Amino acid sequence: MGMQTLEVPISGMDCAECTVPVREALASLPGVDQVEVFLASEKAIVRFDPQQVTLNDLRAAVAAAGYSIPNDPQPAEVTPGRIHPLEFSRRVLILLGVSFAMVLLAAIVGEGLGVFESITQRIPWPLGLALTLAFGWPVFVNVARAAWRRQIIAHTVMTLGVIAAAAIGEWITAALVVFFMRVGDYTERFTTNRARRAIKDLMALAPRTARVEREGREVEVSIAEVRHGETVVVRPGERIPVDGIVLEGRCAVETSAITGEAMPVDVGPGDRVFAAAIVQAGSMRIQVTHVGGETAFGRVVALVEQAEGHRAEVQRLADRFSGGYLPVVVGMAAATFLWRGDLLATAAVLVVACSCGFALATPIAMLASIGSAARRGLLIKGGRYLEALAQADVFLVDKTGTLTLGRPQITDVVALNGLSEAEVLSLAASVERYSEHPLARAVLEAARARGVDVEPASEFESAAGLGVQARVRGRIVKVGNARLLGQEMALGAEFESQGKTVLFVEVDGVVAGVLAATDVLRPEAAEALQMLRAMGFRTMELLTGDHEQAAAALASSLGVRYRARLLPAEKIEVVRAYQRQGHKVVMVGDGVNDAPALAQADAGIAMSGATDIAMEAGHVVLLRPDWRLVPQAVRLARRTMRVVRGNLLFTMIYNLVGLSLAALGYLPPIFAAALQSLPDVGILLNSSRLLRQE
């Protein structure tokens, strides 16, 4: 028996650091060849030798690391999230910021006025300490686990401060430190929960069953039972359940789940089709080439998870500072005791080292920045993405629905054979009024915009993948592509070279006009890209699933490079290629097909009106359709990181001075505890600059 790959759910992970002990515990088992742990989907994928390792062995290893594998894991039913994330996220972040500010203000004022002294006298310190311990228990457990692995995390220094404050009876100070630790944890957990729902929503788009031809009849079976080479039948309005080759039938297929293009693609015998695409008109028989996770859509789901697992974690600035600060604190406390033999001075060193400034230096600036961004129409999902935006030097962008409005518009009307432009548009709109095709809606909108009459029509017929025809004013009018007319039309070649879609209008067998349609560029996009270029982005590239001509025309007008006809896997590979070269990448998109690249990018930006999946995979979401928000987000991120660095530098200098004074005996423990508020005020004043508009 060879190696086996098993996917197992993991319960109890709520932070990025949680994946480390799970991975190490599983990898340490004999017979385990490879382990990947995914926080967002709460699972591990293990490749192992079943002759050496059993599921019970895996369960025991995970339990030893402090987590668990359910005894009887049942896959949860995958249903799209019903609550839109944007308003919920904004309310949670606003509530979090208000609560944070109120508690901080109460702490500063209460400590300055001596209010906490009377509270401490009335509440026995064992009770206060017990409450602090209960509230901070998850944090203390994580610190203990990290210490067991010989690791120092941001909570290590703060936990040391809690112990020091409790040792001198300052249990309120200890409680405040714990509070700030939990605020940071809650924010990270909230972001993680949104990512988990994103993956579930993505999986919900995959068809569960397929209609397969077997023994001369159609049988509906689960996707897992479909075999390569079989023939599946798909009817109008259904999602294609597999990747395959069309054997019979011509249809208009919406492929936005794969290519991101809202305009349906006409397919016929010999054409390739993808799972999760929607058949809008017609039916067809498809020969199966890929099923389930092998399909292009299945790979989209996998890539979203892998992007989270392989993305280099942005190490928090507070963690880096704490890693070097803790040895200094312990060393100074030990030196103080050995040099002076003074327990009070030693305690003062530990207490002054626990200024809440370490907990506040980064999150206060981030919260101020996130609140300011929300007022501007930006939802930023966490501080790590602000840091990534500030460092980014490569800018990648999707086309349809991102740079463009995502819907076709009639841009040109050419009249032939004695008809006027108004007559050509009127005849075309009169026929298209009975069609559901996006191009039909574009024709009707153009007619309404120009005040052209739309007349009744009869004998309407639709030819899937070709066009429509009807009788208008007693004349047979056809509207469609060149194949509908049964001849090659060189007349539309110029429009097609510009990346436009061409519709021909034929009246009683004579070509009467040509309509050209294209997806229109968002009005502020060019200005925003120019602003980004001025901010230092030297590499700017358009990534699209659209055809070569459309991509080339748009890229040329914007002065950027382009890559056309890209599938999701190819988009994410472009992102990874830049990251392997050491670049920090910003990716902007709006569709399901962009989700893997958005998740893989150091900072993924989802456009307003994007699919829920793109918004969940993205790290920044535009709350209104204004491209100028993108350079604003980058500018705000850079300001935020300057403030964070200032906060950390101020806190470091302040605490080093305080440590020195405490070690020399000039700062008793009671004053050391009281002076903890001063750096907090400095950090608040510095961070408040982010609330001002620039």
Neighbouring CB atoms inside 10 A of 210's CB total 26
In the prediction, which pLDDT does 119 show?
Answer: 54
In the prediction, which pLDDT does 233 show?
Answer: 94
Q: Report the DSSP pairing between strands 394-397 and 539-543.
A: parallel
Q: Are residues 358 and 494 in the same domain?
A: no
Output the six-digit token pair for 348: 């003062």
- Alpha-carbon distance of 665 to 336, in angstroms, equals 9
Residue 437: inside a domain, yes or no? yes
In tens, the pLDDT along 484-538 reads 665 556 667 778 777 788 888 989 988 888 998 888 888 899 999 999 999 999 8
Residue 204: inside a domain, yes or no? no
- Asked whether the CA dihedral 374, 379, 385, 391 is positive or negative, the reply is negative
The alpha-helical segments, DSSP class H, found in 311-362 are 317-340, 343-352, 357-360
CATH number, residue 235: 2.70.150.10
Q: Which DSSP string do the residues of 74-106 spell out, in sequence order?
A: -PPP----SS-HHHHHHHHHHHHHHHHHHHHHH
In the prediction, which pLDDT does 587 show?
Answer: 95
All residues at 6 or more sequence positions from 75 whose CB lies less than 8 Å from its CB, including other chains: none
Residue 382: inside a domain, yes or no? no
Whole-number mean pLDDT of the chain?
A: 77
Q: Are residues 168 and 272 in the same domain?
A: no
Rounded to 10°, the helix 525-534/548-558 angle is 60
Q: Are residues 285 and 324 in the same domain?
A: no
Output the six-digit token pair for 315: 């190490």
Residue 430: inside a domain, yes or no? yes
Residue 548: inside a domain, yes or no? no
For residue 604, pLDDT over 50 is answered with yes
Q: Are residues 411 and 501 in the same domain?
A: yes
For residue 196, pLDDT over 60 is answered with no
Q: Are residues 188 and 319 in the same domain?
A: yes
Q: Are residues 191 and 317 in the same domain?
A: yes
Output the six-digit token pair for 604: 């993924």
Total count of domains within the chain: 4
Q: Are residues 515 and 410 in the same domain?
A: yes
For residue 324, pLDDT over 80 is answered with no
Decide if 398 is catalytic. yes
For residue 192, pLDDT over 50 is answered with no
Range picked from 94-98, 303-307, 597-601, 680-684 for highest mean pLDDT: 597-601
| Confidence bin at 73 (pLDDT 50/70/90) | very low
For residue 597, pLDDT over 60 is answered with yes
Residue 514: inside a domain, yes or no? yes
- Alpha-carbon distance of 224 to 208, in angstroms, equals 9
For residue 630, pLDDT over 90 is answered with yes
Closest C-alpha to 404, from 288, 283, 511, 525: 525
Range picked from 8-17, 291-300, 313-322, 563-572 for highest mean pLDDT: 563-572
| Confidence bin at 92 (pLDDT 50/70/90) | very low
Beta bridge partners of residue 479, listed in sequence order: 468, 505
Residue 461: inside a domain, yes or no? yes
Q: Are residues 98 and 169 in the same domain?
A: yes
For residue 191, pLDDT over 50 is answered with no
Residue 31: inside a domain, yes or no? yes
User: What is the edge-to-edge ordering of all strands in the sheet holding 458-463?
Assistant: 404-415, 510-521, 501-507, 475-480, 467-472, 458-463
Q: Which of 520, 545, 577 is the last residue of a domain?
A: 520
In the prediction, which pLDDT does 177 show?
Answer: 61
Q: Are residues 359 and 424 in the same domain?
A: no
Q: Which of 231, 264, 292 is the last residue of a domain?
A: 292
In the prediction, which pLDDT does 488 show?
Answer: 53
Domain hosting residue 437, numbered range: 406-520
CATH number, residue 471: 3.40.1110.10
In tens, the pLDDT along 548-574 reads 888 888 898 899 999 988 888 899 999
Q: Are residues 166 and 101 in the same domain?
A: yes
In the prediction, which pLDDT does 568 show?
Answer: 85
What integer is the mean pLDDT of 118-130?
63
In the prediction, which pLDDT does 395 show?
Answer: 97
For residue 77, pLDDT over 70 is answered with no
Helix (H) or strand (E) holding 392: none
- Alpha-carbon distance of 37 to 380, in angstroms, equals 25
CATH number, residue 54: 3.30.70.100
For residue 396, pLDDT over 90 is answered with yes
Stated pTM of the model:
0.58
Residue 490 C-beta-side C-alpha neighbours within 13 Å: 0
Q: Are residues 228 and 275 in the same domain?
A: yes
In the prediction, which pLDDT does 131 show?
Answer: 74
Q: Are residues 59 and 140 in the same domain?
A: no
In the prediction, which pLDDT does 480 show?
Answer: 85
Strand ranges inside 145-277, DSSP E: 209-214, 217-222, 231-234, 243-248, 251-254, 265-267, 272-273
Q: Which of 292, 327, 353 is the last residue of a domain?
A: 292
| Confidence bin at 373 (pLDDT 50/70/90) | confident
Distances (CA, A) of 570 to 300, 306, 548: 11, 14, 15
What integer is the mean pLDDT of 78-102?
44
Catalytic residue from among 201, 243, 266, 398: 398
| Confidence bin at 183 (pLDDT 50/70/90) | low
CB 562 within 8 A of CB 551: yes
In the prediction, which pLDDT does 83 show?
Answer: 41
